[in-house]
């Protein structure tokens, strides 16, 4: 948890006296189920969590954008421009990409001082980048009185990730960070952006996030490769069906037309996306009838599909999931996020949480040589202004 008083002192030390800065917060997110479906126009079921990004921001008259973070050593002073350009320092590109989106909509940013502080593990698959983008978008929207809806801000943040971070992500992360509601998951159609909030009634269970602590960056991972493989699968299937996204296909169509895909690997990529879409629909039904065992079984099936058909798990994630499933009472465990490292999410009986953390952690270290980190996640609200 960020110490706000210390953050304010840090801001004053960096930028000197002036008007009191405004304080904003954007959460991270954990995706309960629906992985690699968002950029395929499918369904997802994420929720916002209590960990996130705090930001202090203040308008200035000096025509400069000043960026700093208590989590990073680099700082920047960048002249306000009609168009911002990508920066060689990666983290600067998240706020700069968002500011560029405001420019393109005709909202000139003017001078600003920004200080970020985050408690989301970077590179862990909990959307630290989307959290930075959305807290920037929400705060700048407020400062400029541009009156854009959160859905529009999420689309702008997604475009910033595409153009400035080089990651061809779907809309899920930014949407979940923006639209999160405490105690609820967001059932989102990533093509239409139609969405509903679905109550997650955990009762005596807890959501436990386990971080592999295997660092990976999406832009230099195989994430974009999977996007390209899905586009190739879609091109083959489009020879049989009138379809613009893989997420539009149901299983009967896929089984009827899968022979149109000549490559077995590409066929398996499509099979994951289409089966995962069905699992999201079944998961929503399970949560609405408060059937956690059924939901957990779908989580398990999701991970197995991501391991076998989509091949984005790896030894570290598989080890955490395998060890989690050995703990008494665990109803489900799966990787969450893009994969290639990052985190798992598990539903664990409250009385077994200490045992889970101790034994999963110990066995993970024995098998991988890495030390996992564990977080008890609370489902929180989305991006917002805080009183300071």
Q: Which residue's entry shows tokens 């409250």? A: 350
Q: How far apart are CA 287 and CA 298, in angstroms?
A: 11
| Helices marked H in the chain | 4-15, 93-104, 128-144, 150-160, 172-179, 223-237, 251-257, 264-288, 292-308, 315-324, 353-368
Q: How far apart are CA 166 and CA 94, in angstroms?
A: 11
Give me the half-sphere count of Cα atoms (radius 13 Å) on the Cβ side of residue 30: 30
Query: Residues 346-360, buried b or exposed e (16+ Cβ, 10 A)?
Result: bbbbeebbeebbeeb
Judge contact between 214 and 63, C-beta under 8 A: no
Active site residue 291: no
φ, ψ at 234 (rounded to 5°): -60, -40
Report residue 95 as tokens. Answer: 């706020």
Judge contact between 253 and 273, C-beta under 8 A: no
Judge contact between 49 and 378, C-beta under 8 A: yes
Neighbouring residues of 253: CB distance < 8 A, sequence distance ≥ 6: 241
Judge contact between 293 and 256, C-beta under 8 A: no
Q: How far apart are CA 192 and CA 262, in angstroms?
A: 30
Q: Which listed residue (38, 173, 309, 318) is catalytic?
A: 173
Q: Which residue's entry shows tokens 């997420």? A: 247
Helix (H, G, I), strand (E, B) or coil at 209: strand
Name which of 307, 378, 316, 310 is nearest 343 in CA terms: 316
Which residues have a catalytic role annotated? 173
């Amino acid at each position: 948890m960020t110490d706000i008083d210390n953050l304010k002192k840090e801001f004053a030390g960096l930028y000197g006296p002036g008007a009191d800065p405004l304080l904003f917060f954007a959460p991270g997110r954990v995706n309960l189920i629906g992985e690699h479906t968002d950029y395929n126009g499918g369904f997802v079921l994420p929720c916002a969590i209590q960990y996130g990004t705090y930001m202090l921001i203040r308008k200035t008259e000096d025509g400069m954008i000043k960026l700093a973070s208590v989590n990073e050593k680099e700082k920047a002073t960048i002249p306000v421009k009609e168009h911002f350009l990508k920066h060689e320092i990666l983290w600067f590109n998240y706020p700069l990409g968002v500011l560029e989106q405001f420019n393109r909509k005709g909202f000139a940013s003017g001078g600003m001082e920004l200080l970020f502080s985050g408690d989301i593990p970077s590179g862990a698959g909990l959307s630290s980048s989307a959290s930075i983008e959305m807290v920037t978008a929400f705060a700048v929207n407020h400062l400029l009185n541009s009156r854009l809806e959160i859905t529009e801000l999420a689309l702008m943040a997604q475009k910033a990730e595409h153009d400035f971070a080089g990651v061809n992500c779907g809309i899920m992360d930014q949407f979940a960070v923006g639209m999160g509601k405490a105690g609820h998951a967001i059932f989102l159609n990533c093509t239409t952006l139609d969405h509903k909030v679905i109550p997650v009634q955990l009762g005596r269970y807890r959501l436990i996030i386990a971080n592999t602590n295997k660092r990976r960056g999406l832009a230099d991972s195989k994430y974009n490769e999977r996007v390209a493989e899905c586009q190739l699968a879609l091109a083959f299937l489009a020879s049989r069906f009138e379809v613009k996204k893989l997420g539009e296909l149901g299983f009967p169509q896929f089984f009827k037309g899968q022979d149109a895909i000549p490559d077995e690997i590409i066929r398996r990529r499509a099979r994951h996306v289409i089966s995962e879409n069905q699992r999201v629909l079944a998961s929503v039904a399970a949560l609405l009838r408060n059937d956690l065992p059924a939901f957990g079984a779908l989580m398990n099936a999701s991970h197995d599909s991501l391991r076998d058909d989509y091949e984005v798990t790896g030894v570290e994630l598989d080890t955490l999931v395998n060890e989690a499933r050995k703990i008494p009472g665990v109803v489900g465990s799966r990787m969450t996020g893009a994969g290639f490292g990052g985190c798992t999410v598990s539903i664990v009986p409250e009385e077994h949480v200490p045992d889970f953390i101790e034994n999963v952690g110990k066995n993970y270290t024995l098998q991988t040589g890495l030390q996992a980190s564990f977080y008890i996640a609370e489902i929180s609200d989305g991006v917002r202004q805080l009183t300071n």
